[in-house]
């Protein structure tokens, strides 16, 4: 069972921001911005490549509600998902990073290898 499934099952504690029947949002334990929350489906889905359109539709609304709950819906925020090893996915459970609370830079990609698998 993956770490996010353990959080869904209350086997591992998390600082929960918002929850409904299908989705859960909680603070990232290694924040990259003043506000850094993860939004996940409660049902295990490996990655964005496996998610169906109905789940994504409902997850989009959920993430918009998370942004409102965090009071960043008007000031702006970033939503990121990583897919696969080269995309930086560290946990094999679909999740979206919601980052905000400051003007966000885009410099973290500067360490990417331009000679990589492109």
* Residues with catalytic function: 95
Residue in 52, 113, 54, 56 with CA at minimum distance from that of residue 86: 113
Q: Say which DSSP state 107 is in.
A: G
Round to whole Å and give the CA distance between 49 and 31.
25
Q: Say which DSSP state 109 is in.
A: G
């Amino acid at each position: 069972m993956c770490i996010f499934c353990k959080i869904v099952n209350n086997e591992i504690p998390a600082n929960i921001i918002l929850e409904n029947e299908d989705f859960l949002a909680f603070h990232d334990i290694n924040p990259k911005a003043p506000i850094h929350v993860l939004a996940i489906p409660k049902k295990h889905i490996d990655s964005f490549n496996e998610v169906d359109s109905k789940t994504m539709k409902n997850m989009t609304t959920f993430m918009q509600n998370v942004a409102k709950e965090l009071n960043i819906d008007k000031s702006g925020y970033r939503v990121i998902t990583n897919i696969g090893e080269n995309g930086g996915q560290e946990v094999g459970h679909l999740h979206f990073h919601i980052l905000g609370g400051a003007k966000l830079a885009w410099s973290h990609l500067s360490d990417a290898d331009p000679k990589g698998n492109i």
